[in-house]
Amino acid sequence: MNPDDDVANQQSGSSANPQPSPGSPSASSSRHRIGDVAAGPTVLPFSLSLILQNTGSVARDHLASERTFLAYVRTSLSFASAGVALIQLFRISVSTSANGSLNNRVSAPQYARPLGATLIGLGIAVLGLGTQRYFAVQRALPQGFFPVARLSVFAQAVSLTALIGVVFGILVTVH
């Protein structure tokens, strides 16, 4: 190693093992390799933990992926909570209107459980989708790729729009 290189590395704050610069051709191949640990063991492919060398934006990318997974969890909990609330809403509305007659009207309780169960099922599906996406992104990032979620976003939007339309239709018909 050239002494001038050693001085340049010390001034830039890098270690004795120089890393390729972001613009160099070898930067993309060595930036996100699985098992890049300073003098440590490599991680097995079936291991639950993944240790990567934090060069470039590795930590930022993986932490962003974790935040996205937590957003999927939050959305899943919102769907499940909405399902439970929908069941309770219809149950309370029926118990308060028990004094009046429900002749020639659609009965809300017959739709409450299926709609609530559908929302809870959608919450479980979103959680499964988020988990699958998290691991797909974790698998792709070290290789320098990022899988775009187009179909899953479209499927969630269509299913939620249909479900909201059905709930709105029932609420208009019942009240």
Domain ranges of the chain: 57-174
Contacts of 86 (CB under 8 A, 6+ apart): 112, 115, 116, 119, 167
Is residue 131 predicted with pLDDT exceeding 60? Answer: yes
Copy the structure tokens of residue 19: 């890393």
pTM of the predicted model over 0.85: no
41-50, 59-68, 121-130, 148-157: range with lowest mean pLDDT:
41-50
